[in-house]
A and B are shown apart, each in its own frame.
Chain A
Amino acid sequence: MKVLVIEDSPKLLRSLGYGLRKLGHSVELAADGREGLDHARLGEYDVIVLDLMLPGMDGLALLRKLRELGKRTHVLILSARDRVEDRIRGLQLGADDYMIKPFSFDELVARLNTLVRRRYEAKNPELRLGSLVVNTATRCALRDGKTVEMTPGEYAILEYLTLNRGRVLSKEQILTTLHDDQSCPGCGVVEVMVCNLRRKLAAVGEESIVKTRRGYGYYVD
């Protein structure tokens, strides 16, 4: 999952970036409204976490602008404003979810996962690839009920391919969705990670799940 977090509290921004990266997500951070809008316009994100009281540009104004530009990225508002009117206004302007501070980090992650599944029209958090089950809620892959050990990055690739089942994803696409402004690896990293993923899946009898379309990229079917 590629997440953009727009929040003016440096401590909260730091904590959220840390936690989401630890879970294997690609995270970009913005500390004011204008910077956040620039990121959102130019980047492709699975979901945006948006504070409302931002310097430079208010969160609701940013959201309105984003929708006017035709961006359909899911937005979860994270705000200290708890009045019903504020929540209604945010949702009416195009937000997909609204959480009030202070919040549970686990709940935030669960809601973000839901929005990502919605993006790929996957109602069920458990995605099946033959005998393999990719559980987007718990962020693990299971075969016959047993967890297939893999790194967060390898899981992220498997999840991304599974959510885009049937579509060929290029190395650049995989790279963009997996890595953020904290790391700038090359496409070679994707090849290595896919290779490692295939080896681990083969160890549990699922060697041919991740397929290659030479010259284009990778896919699962």
Chain B
Amino acid sequence: MLAGACLMFTAASLAIGLFMHSRLLQDFDHVLRTKAEAIVAMVERRGNMIEIEVTDKDMASLGLKDKPDYFLLIFQNGSLAVGGDLPSWGDPPVTTLSAGWSDFRDLRLPNGRRGRVFRMVFRPRVEDPANLEALVDKGQGWHWIPIPAGLDPASALAGLAIARGRDSLDTLLVSMYSMLGAVNVLLLGAVVVFVRSSVRRGLEPLRAINDQLGSMSSDNLDRRVFTPHPPHELQAIIGTMNSLLDRLQVGLERERRFSSDAAHELRTPIAELRTACEMGSRWPEDTEGVRAFFTDIEAVSLRMDRTVANLLELAKCDSRTNAVRNEHVRLAPLIEQCWKRCAVEVGSMRLRMEHRVDPGIVLNIDLDKLTMILRNLIENAVCHGTADSAVVCESVPSASGVALVIENTARDIEPAHMRHLFDRFWRKDTARTGDHHAGLGLAIVKALTDFLGIRLIVTLRGHDRFNVRLIFPVNALVASPSD
């Protein structure tokens, strides 16, 4: 940008300089031409005599001691008429020129100064040659020059050259260019300073933002970008950046929570196994104790087996390496089967199922995966339900065919919990007490429904009705309730 400004100012200065140069030169030339035309007006032909009505006094200006002008009048054949201070007519020879020709050119004057000459070729004005001798004898100081023999007086042409030193012009031009150059440099300097200052001021908020972002790390991700009175253009960027930081913070907190929960879920059973084994091997003579430890080891192993199986299932869903084996599945009996698996818990909580799934619904779907989905949902409903309540399973029509709703009365579920429901290893109980659930059930439901193309909607109706809706894809429905 600075280079562009530099070029622009330089070009402007040059243009101004050249324009002024041209005008000054024009003025100078105009003065020369005017003087020459004045002299030409005073040159007359009377018969075969040329009369120059210029006295010596008029010619005095041509003889200024310090900066004299120079004058030369010659005939068409090149012979000198008046003047002679100029060394010669120069090129092109006057003999080749016709009346009306004129030019300006620079030259070196006899006194060594730079000068400028105006030359013109003209036919002198014709005057009545009568009383010529009387006029000559009058001696008014005018110049009388005979036309050289060999030239036709009627058509004789004369060449006039008048030259003047161009010192003052050159001095003026030098001053002008110097002034333009100085102004150019000053302007450029001012532009540089102004632009740098403006850019620095303009970039200050960006620098502040950069410093703030540079100081952020995973330990202080709760900070947000802030600058007092940011420019309008930066406000949108700051807003977007802070939104990004919000999402990053949420994501990082989820990852941290996942790491912590996963560590607990995997490490605690291993600690239980290890300690039980150490106790059993250290005091093998205590048969009752050893028996109790083996019982614990078995229970922990089974729990870890479930956790590992769930994690592997999730891994297969994540990597999309899960194979799909579709077959015709009757929905109602499958739900009944999943309910019966929870018989112990159902009995202890005195739960009942309101089974309103149409027995005619047949789906073309992967039986194993659908079973896993329904089992997890029904176990979830049973484990987190309130005693003496009902778990509702019903089929409802949907735009794509059929949907399954599982609803239960849930204990201690809050709206803030809803966004974590599908987080892996998330449990409502932050202490993660008990070994029935690792917090992977709903994560598996989400992964498998996504994989099978089933739309999953989970809502909290009122303050305690936990509602899960599974909307099956159109191509999964083989037989609908109306069939």
Contact = CB atoms under 8 A, between A and B. Distances in A.
Interface of A: 8-9, 11-12, 14-16, 18-19, 22, 32-33, 53-56, 58, 80-83, 100-106
B263 A9 contact: no
B289 interface: yes
Contacts of B273: 102
Interface in B293-318: 293, 296, 299-300
Given A9-B268, A105-B279, A15 B263 contact: no
A79 to B, nearest CB: 8
Nearest to A102: B271
A18 B279 contact: yes
6 A-B pairs closest in CB distance:
A101-B271, A80-B267, A102-B271, A15-B275, A55-B431, A80-B264
Nearest to A16: B275
Contacts of B267: 80, 82, 100-102
A89 to B, nearest CB: 12
Given A8-B431, A53-B431, A80 B271 contact: yes
Given A9-B268, A14-B296, A54-B433, 5 more contacts: A15-B275, A22-B283, A53-B264, A58-B430, A101-B271
Given A12-B268, A18-B289, A81 B279 contact: no
B271 to A, nearest CB: 4
Contacts of A19: 275, 278-279, 282
5 contacts: A9-B272, A19-B275, A33-B431, A101-B268, A102-B270
Contacts of B266: 80
B293 to A, nearest CB: 7
Residue from A33, A58, A82, A102 whose CB has the most chain B CB atoms within 10 Å: A102
Residue from A16, A18, A80, A100 whose CB has the most chain B CB atoms within 10 Å: A80
Contacts of A103: 271, 274-275
B210 interface: no
A76 to B, nearest CB: 14
Contacts of B430: 53, 58
Contact of A11 (B259, B299, B432): B299
Contacts of A15: 272, 275-276, 278-279, 293, 296
B260 interface: yes
B272 A12 contact: yes
Interface in B245-278: 259-260, 263-264, 266-268, 270-276, 278
Interface string B119-152: 0000000000000000000000000000000000
A106 to B, nearest CB: 8
Contacts of B368: none
Nearest to A57: B431
Nearest to A8: B433
B193 interface: no
Interface of B: 259-260, 263-264, 266-268, 270-276, 278-279, 282-283, 289, 292-293, 296, 299-300, 429-433, 435
B274 A102 contact: yes
Nearest to A31: B433
B233 to A, nearest CB: 39
A53 B279 contact: no
A147 B433 CA distance: 44
B264 A11 contact: no
A81 B264 contact: yes
Contacts of B264: 53, 80-81
A8 B268 CA distance: 10
Nearest to A15: B275
Contacts of B433: 8, 32, 54-55
Nearest to B297: A11
Nearest to A22: B283
Nearest to B270: A102
Residue from B263, B276, B430 whose CB has the most chain A CB atoms within 10 Å: B263
Residue from A16, A19, A58 whose CB has the most chain B CB atoms within 10 Å: A19
A80 B432 CA distance: 12
Nearest to A17: B279
Nearest to B266: A80
B282 A53 contact: no
B298 to A, nearest CB: 11
A33 B431 CA distance: 10
A56 B431 CA distance: 8
A18 B433 CA distance: 21
Nearest to B260: A81
B269 to A, nearest CB: 9
Contact of A14 (B260, B268, B292, B432): B292
Nearest to A108: B275
A80 B431 contact: no
Contacts of B289: 18
Nearest to A103: B271
A22 B282 contact: yes
A53 B432 contact: yes
A54 B431 contact: yes
Contacts of A100: 267
Given A53-B431, A55-B429, A58-B431, A11 B279 contact: no
A18 to B, nearest CB: 6
Contacts of A8: 431, 433
B264 to A, nearest CB: 4
A102 B404 CA distance: 43
B257 to A, nearest CB: 12
Nearest to A18: B279
A3 B432 CA distance: 24
B275 A80 contact: no
A86 to B, nearest CB: 8
Contact of B263 (A16, A18, A82): A82
A55 to B, nearest CB: 4
A8 to B, nearest CB: 5
Residue from A55, A58, A101 whose CB has the most chain B CB atoms within 10 Å: A101
B60 to A, nearest CB: 106
Nearest to B289: A18
Contact of A101 (B270, B292, B299, B435): B270
Nearest to A23: B282
A77 to B, nearest CB: 13
A56 to B, nearest CB: 8
B432 A12 contact: no
Nearest to B296: A11
B224 to A, nearest CB: 22
Nearest to A56: B431
A190 B259 CA distance: 49
